[in-house]
Amino acid sequence: MRASAKMAALAGLCTLMACAASAGERGADGKNHGRARDAVQLGPRPFYLVQDMDEGELKDALEQCTSGPFYKSDFSISHRGAPLQFPEHTREGYEAAARMGAGILECDVSFTADRELVCRHSQCDLHTTTDILAKPELAAKCSEPFSPAEFDPISGERIKTASAQCCTSDITLQEFRTLRGKMEASNPDASTVAQYLDGTPDWRTDLYSGSGTLMTHAESIALFKQLGVKMTPELKAPSVAMPYQGDYTQQAYAQQMIDEYKAAGVGPREVFPQSFNLDDVLFWQQADPLYGRQAVYLDGRVDDPAFEPSLEDFQNLAAQGVRIVAPPIFALVRLDESGRIAPSDYAIYARLAGLDIIAWSFERAGPIENLVEEGRQYYYQSVSEAMNKDGDMYEVLDVLGRDIGVLGVFSDWPASVSYYANCMKL
């Protein structure tokens, strides 16, 4: 066991939610079958990751599971659908995530000019995630129109990046429905709209970008019910001043999101509302205690170099009613004295304070080789020195899953986490 001595104190820790979920998902044979009875389809990637691992006990254990069967698991949380290969927050991406065993699917929630809720990672990302710039009548409504890159005529050096900004609040719901999703990307060297929209990294694909069906928040709820999964909506920070249009307050926005679950008949145990804004989490707990009980505080404080986790800090969060914290992966792991991946102080103190943890986001960084050199090390920045190939991601996941005991892990390709969760019976 790689856990530190302090982690040993956590051996008996099992929160009410985690224990109930574990008990409720085990079948008569004692195995974790999730909540779905039909085996899921993982595809080749998890098996590639296992084969790519260093020889050792973890690889041996994961190799024992190659024949399956595999089932849906709440430990496997879909991050924006399946955006490693599908346009994010689209019907096609959500359906792919469910087929890959994700037991919980995410809709990031933003609002349109007529204050309707839609699934977008950011209120102002339409220029990089949809074809809005290719529709002149809608592109004209963007907050900032497309501006081409500029280059020094002598050196050829780029002196101005191509840019645009198109927000959900720039258009109505009816106009939003005419858009198609594309892979999140833009070309900073573009001189035309077509070039700007054609910026997908070579480790992703545009193979499934031709039919990215955008969704409203209510439509995502209906789809998730049909797919038999739980739901984790993230209330996105508005890019416009609030109150919006005079009377649309932050609390009205937060309540509107919860009300759409009530209207659809989705019970509070099926919903994990998320926000980077602690006030949103506290509001849900006060205004709708049943739905607020599973509210997730997305902890962006870890991006501040001055932030130092402490037991007192997490105890204060718990005292305010926070039950689940969700930081990026790098905040939960570190390299120990021998250079091996181990739980971080953040993970240790959060668990000692009785908090549950969700981590994000697996399969978001792209190929691990040359991670640091290419500047993609964000999610693994605390342990990137110990990682040099894709299979090393399972070493990190194992620390999250077994040493720390996180509730679940967001992933851009849920099959990879679903494989691990089934194999380790999490």
Residue 194 has pLDDT above 50, yes or no: yes
Residue 27 has pLDDT above 50, yes or no: no
Query: Average pLDDT for residues 193-220, to the nearest whole number?
Result: 95
Which residue carries 């209906």 as its tokens? 222
**pLDDT at residue 6 tops 50:** no
Region 380-405: what's the mean pLDDT? 97
- First-residue to last-residue Cα distance in the chain: 17
Q: Is the pLDDT of residue 19 over 50?
A: no
User: Domain segments of the chain: what residues?
Assistant: 5-107+215-424, 124-213
Rounded CA separation 272/13 (Å) = 21
Give the tens place of pLDDT for each residue, 266-285. 999 999 999 999 999 999 99
Percentage of residues of the chain with pLDDT beyond 70 = 91
Q: Which residues of 157-179 are buried (b: 16+ CB within 10 A; e: fewer)?
A: eeeeebbbbbbbbbbebebbbeb
CA dist., res. 416 & res. 45, Å (int): 7
For the ranges 29-33, 71-75, 411-415, the lowest mean pLDDT is seen at 29-33
Q: What is the pTM of this model?
A: 0.92
For position 38, what pLDDT does the model report?
Answer: 59
Decide if pLDDT at 23 tops 50.
no
Supply the mean pLDDT for the chain.
92
Tell me the pLDDT band of 31, cut-offs 50, 70 and 90.
very low
Residues in contact with 201: Cβ distance below 8 Å, sequence separation at least 6, in sequence order: 185, 366
Residue 12: is its pLDDT beyond 60? no
As a whole number, mean pLDDT of residues 235-239 equals 97
**How is residue 105 written in tokens?**
């699917």
What's the pLDDT tens digit per position in 124-148? 999 999 999 999 999 999 999 999 9
Topology of domain 5-107+215-424 in CATH is TIM Barrel (3.20.20)
Q: What is the 3-state secondary structure (H, E, C) of 58-88?
A: HHHHHHCCCCCCCCCEEEEEECCCCCCCCCC
Say which residue, 70 or 4, is predicted with more confidence.
Answer: 70
Tens-digit pLDDT profile for residues 40-91: 999 999 999 999 999 999 999 999 999 999 999 999 999 999 999 999 999 9
CA gyration radius for the chain?
Answer: 21
**Poorest-pLDDT segment among 15-19, 100-104, 176-180:** 15-19
Q: What percent of the chain has pLDDT over 90?
A: 89
